[in-house]
Structure 1
């Protein structure tokens, strides 16, 4: 009796050479599907990349059934997810992110039947994945995929997806001293060479990011993607009129509103200078750099080595650590030793909270502040209203004032 197939899976293969000594394949993770081996990490040894490639291989290989009126107990979750990725996800504002989240879902639920999903299964998934915002968002995507599959008539019913509780919103904001410390650390950070700092600056692009984030309250993705002139598929800064168009033209509007914002004069002067100042290149005399002739902000507001910055998280965390705005924990390593890990509650999104907090502390009109930040007046008042000088001012005056004598009419006979 033949052995049951294990299905597509990841296996590690050592380096292999042909009889003549030439390289057949480098060491790394491969997808084994029957007798076929497919490179999953490009010989980098990156397990995360290999897992994503495996999930992509499964989705591409699997062709979901679209018969109507099927019993959920006989339909795998992969069917619903595949249909959702094919029919619905491409119309999302960020289809790639939707696909990445559902790939994570497929690793757990791929072979599970839709009818087997219940509250315990959802709670187990959330627990393994940290019970945080990421797990909740992934389960929301699963719910959308199953409801879509049911709405299309492919199954007779869809199970209820139990979500973990919403995390408490973080409203951490920076003091002016903390903001100054971050800017100073980013501007002074240098590359180390053989244990000694060199004269190569490595975080000045982070300082530029922080200035834009602090004085506009814009989300990090919009800043990193902002061009210095009108560009197809990107937001941009109008240097003549000082307007930051945060959302790309013809991009579908989402609940994360991105209206245009007027740049403060001080920030506009910085951006104009970045667009007109050549990059400082140490090897310019040898003609080795591809960035020779480029400005600090040649094509985009925030650039590193002449290219736009896709994500600021890693460099930003290094700046926060250099500024000393965090703490260290000791965690157990796989070999049993203890290693020191830096922790902090300051993320790039903190600058948005900071901008909103500072606007309220300055007594800015609520309608004007909400339009500047790109949020509703209700959200601004609910989250940041207590920072406004007028917050409960009348009530605090009334509670300590002397009671007014009442005009009681005299008794008359």
Structure 2
């Protein structure tokens, strides 16, 4: 009776190549594809990290993908930026800025070296907090680097994770290439807002004209930010076709302006044009150059920094030194609450849920909780009897 042929034995790791260290300390690649044979290739190195890189190149060569291997952290960032950010992301400039900072500190490291030294990521965050991290290539302004806040660091770390996940998804790097690290804590909510007097002063102060006598971009930006409480990205990408001057409405199509971009989870918001804002937008329309209210869809970051610096110098008010587009949005919502505008209406203007607006702005409303304690008046006769 003949014995049935035995199934070829797969040695170790179910057909996947693995590393083995010899007594000499040299690492070698071993591979048993399942046909009863084993391939052994020396990596010619005692460095485990270099051996892992050689193993990864070998794995990719089995698929005919040697040229696709990404061996440095910077290559991962470049691949993610070219293949995804430039084509599909809505926050292109901010995402590229985050990758620029990360690339300046971590880009030259090999992926294996980063795996061996996960503290490099923590050291990067410490350097950003202290404003001592290497400056990214192409930084246009000569202003001193500011210390990065926790919100900025969380954004940069999310960009790091997303870049590695994207490269792994497309089989350019191993799935576990990025070492574990602790994400920065979420920052405390920023409750800086301008008072009614500060709000009005800023609107007057920013009335700058450009060299052609037109309303400056920063003037238009601030007017829309304080007048409509819109997000920065929505204002930057606002086309004139979404401004209905006759009906007195601005339609913010958030997250869908760029062709091919991923749809944002933020809802479309329709905001009435305030009486004081309407003549400014009418003038801007008469002076328009191009399809966008701000002429083009680039950020007015340099002009905004100049505004903050000049406003702080003129007043000494630290609120203007720390002014951000979000502070202006928060200011408008806060002043609406202080004026007694119902929370549901504030939510409608902001495009937020009522619950979020209650959490952020209810305490600014006049007589907050007063009605709760004065829900009824005791009957006077009973009160007199008790006394």
What range is the shorter-chain TM-score in?
A: 0.5 to 0.7
Which of the two has higher C-alpha Rg? 2
How many Å apart are 1:325 and its aligned residue? 4.6
Matched with 1:35 is none
How many Å apart are 1:351 and its aligned residue? 1.6
Matched with 2:109 is 112
Query: Relative to structure 1, is the Cα distance of residues 250 and 363 closer, same or farther in structure 2, using a 3 angstrom cutoff?
Result: same
1 or 2, which has the higher helix percentage? 2
8 Å contact from structure 1 (residues 213, 223) kept in 2: yes
Alignment partners' CA distance in 2, 1:152 and 1:137: 23
Give CA-to-partner distance per residue, 1:320-373, whole Å, 9 cap, x none.
23541535xxxxxxxxxxxxxx98222333220111112222332322221211
**1:272 maps to 2:282:** yes
Alignment partners' CA distance in 2, 1:91 and 1:109: 24
Matched with 2:246 is 240
Query: Out of 220, 226, 235, which is 1:214 matched to?
Result: 226
Matched with 2:181 is 161
Q: How does 1:59-208 map to 2 (within 5 A)?
A: 67=60, 75-89=71-85, 90-115=87-112, 116-117=114-115, 120-130=119-129, 132=149, 133-153=151-171, 154-158=173-177, 159-187=179-207, 206-208=218-220
8 Å contact from structure 1 (residues 122, 163) kept in 2: no
How many Å apart are 1:318 and its aligned residue? 4.2
Q: How does 1:10-409 map to 2 (within 5 A)?
A: 67=60, 75-89=71-85, 90-115=87-112, 116-117=114-115, 120-130=119-129, 132=149, 133-153=151-171, 154-158=173-177, 159-187=179-207, 206-228=218-240, 230=241, 236-247=242-253, 251=258, 252-276=262-286, 295=287, 300-302=292-294, 310-311=299-300, 312-321=303-312, 323-326=314-317, 344-389=321-366, 391-397=368-374
Residue 164 of structure 1 aligns to a residue whose secondary structure is coil
Alignment partners' CA distance in 1, 2:324 and 2:353: 23
How many Å apart are 1:142 and its aligned residue? 1.1
Query: Relative to structure 1, is the Cα distance of residues 395 and 143 closer, same or farther in structure 2, using a 3 angstrom cutoff?
Result: same
Residue 245 of structure 1 aligns to a residue whose secondary structure is strand
Query: Relative to structure 1, is the Cα distance of residues 125 and 405 closer, same or farther in structure 2, using a 3 angstrom cutoff?
Result: farther
Matched with 1:53 is none
Give CA-to-partner distance per residue, 1:71-109, whole Å, 9 cap, x none.
xxx943234334423443332123354234223222222
Alignment partners' CA distance in 2, 1:128 and 1:185: 36
Two-structure CA RMSD over aligned residues (Å): 4.0
8 Å contact from structure 1 (residues 190, 200) kept in 2: yes
Across the two proteins, how many residue pairs are aligned to each other? Answer: 290
Alignment partners' CA distance in 1, 2:280 and 2:175: 60
8 Å contact from structure 2 (residues 218, 304) kept in 1: no
Query: Relative to structure 1, is the Cα distance of residues 176 and 203 closer, same or farther in structure 2, using a 3 angstrom cutoff?
Result: farther
Alignment partners' CA distance in 2, 1:353 and 1:107: 33
Alignment partners' CA distance in 2, 1:343 and 1:269: 26
TM-score, normalized by length of structure 1?
0.58
Matched with 2:30 is none
Query: Relative to structure 1, is the Cα distance of residues 209 and 149 closer, same or farther in structure 2, using a 3 angstrom cutoff?
Result: closer
How many Å apart are 1:124 and its aligned residue? 0.5
Alignment partners' CA distance in 2, 1:176 and 1:387: 13
Alignment partners' CA distance in 1, 2:315 and 2:155: 32
Alignment partners' CA distance in 2, 1:205 and 1:146: 37
Residue 349 of structure 1 aligns to a residue whose secondary structure is helix
TM-score, normalized by length of structure 2?
0.61
How many Å apart are 1:111 and its aligned residue? 3.2
Alignment partners' CA distance in 2, 1:315 and 1:140: 29
Give CA-to-partner distance per residue, 1:147-169, whole Å, 9 cap, x none.
33344454152422322222222
